Amino acid sequence: MGGFFLFYRFITWTFVDYHVVIEGKKVLQAFSYKLNKKLIKQLAVTFIVWYLLIVLCFGVLIIVFGALCWLILYAVIDNSLLLAPVFSLLVVLFTLLLFLFSLAINSLDSNFLTELYYQNRERERTGSDIIVPQPKEVLYRSTPEVTNKHILAVLIICLVGVSIGTILLLPAVQKDIDSIDKPVYVTAHRGSSGRAPQNTISAFVAAIEDEADYIELDVQETKNGVVVVIHDSNLLHLGGVDKNIWELNYSELQEIDVGSSFSPEFEGERVPTLEEAIDVTKGKVKLNIEIKINGHEKNLVENTVRIVEEKGIEDECVIPSLDYNELKGVRALNPDLRIGMIIGYVIGDYSKLDVEFYGVEPNLVLTKKFMRDAHDDNKEVHICRSWFRNY
């Protein structure tokens, strides 16, 4: 209702400027000028058609320019030397195009309203209806005489504007463009857990088939000290048995089916040991071995480091954890292993941690300042859940 009232007022006050400037009326007198109902209807239809036409033209302009930009960028996307200046140039050209479009629309709009004003004066004198100006008339009356000097001046201004804009934008754009050449590594979270039961051999095989760069897996310790790959400490969710990992020996754990809850196709799937997981993945995909702390582990860190060393995958794995004390244990046992702190909230100064990377939840801690500080400290930032790796 409010929009209708504003549109109505826009129509009734259409000629206020003309009454003041051309006829010399006072402002309040100009605002009190009344149009008859028939004229208001004519103007309403005219304005709706006119501004819909403007929106249509703008839409076509955006689509055409966007398509051209896509073609140009597609042609240079693999050339980092050209990509930054070309992108900057397109941004400046788009800004210039919007300026010229608004200039043209303002000129046409002004001429259009002027034509309507004089027709309204003629209507008052003769009683005839307003005739909507034809596009040719509006274009002709709004187009000044153009000479070669005018064209040259416009071209020079455009060239200077594009050059200045490109110079100003290039450093900022180049910084972002440079990241295109840097590799992005994709980690399969608990294996390809959308295709197979999480943290199982089947999930790891599926991740290899999916050509993941890393597999993230979780390790815990059984009652008799065997390092197994499992996320939940309790087996109720995966195996339907209300038992905790630390309450079961490895032989007892092997009696529990953890595949059927995912799909009958995986009936008989068992919780694998870390050794089994490495045997399946070694040389095919790197591992992100997260140490899961449940408060009942005895030698989880020591056994995990020992297995990694025995299998010879020191250069093919990273070891993160939520517990920095466990990471310090890894560092003490083998300083060459790459370790990372998983961060849920930014509380305190993480820059003092002796780690190679941070694992973060993007919706909780990922800010420009955090990224800048991490990179200044020569730390990698691994995005958890999707586990994209950002340098």
Q: What is the pLDDT of residues 61-100, one digit of tens each?
A: 889 888 888 888 777 776 656 666 777 777 777 877 887 8
The residues, ordered by sequence, that sit 6+ positions from 276 with a Cβ below 8 Å of its Cβ are 201, 229
**Active site members:** 189, 231
Is the pLDDT reported for residue 131 higher than 90?
no
Q: What is the pLDDT of residue 136?
A: 44
Element (H, E) at 185: strand 185-189
Q: Is the pLDDT of residue 282 over 80?
A: yes
For the stretch 36-68, pLDDT in tens is 566 677 777 777 887 888 889 888 888 988 888
Per-residue model confidence as pLDDT tens digits over 294-337: 889 899 999 999 999 999 999 999 999 989 999 999 999 999 99
Q: Which CATH class is domain 185-390?
A: alpha beta
Q: How confident is the model at residue 180 (pLDDT cuts 50, 70, 90)?
A: low
**Cα distance between residue 254 and residue 268, in whole Å:** 10
Q: Decide if 229 contacts 199 (C-beta within 8 A).
A: yes
What is the DSSP code (8-state) at residue 257?
Answer: -
Q: Is 211 exposed, middle or buried (0-12, 13-18, 19+ CB in 10 A)?
A: exposed
Domain-wise residue ranges, the chain: 35-181, 185-390
- pLDDT tens digit sequence for 2-35: 666 676 666 666 666 666 666 667 766 656 666 6
Distance from chain centroid for Cα 22:
53
Q: Residue 381 has what DSSP assignment?
A: E
Q: Is the pLDDT of residue 279 over 50?
A: yes
Average pLDDT over residues 190-201: 92
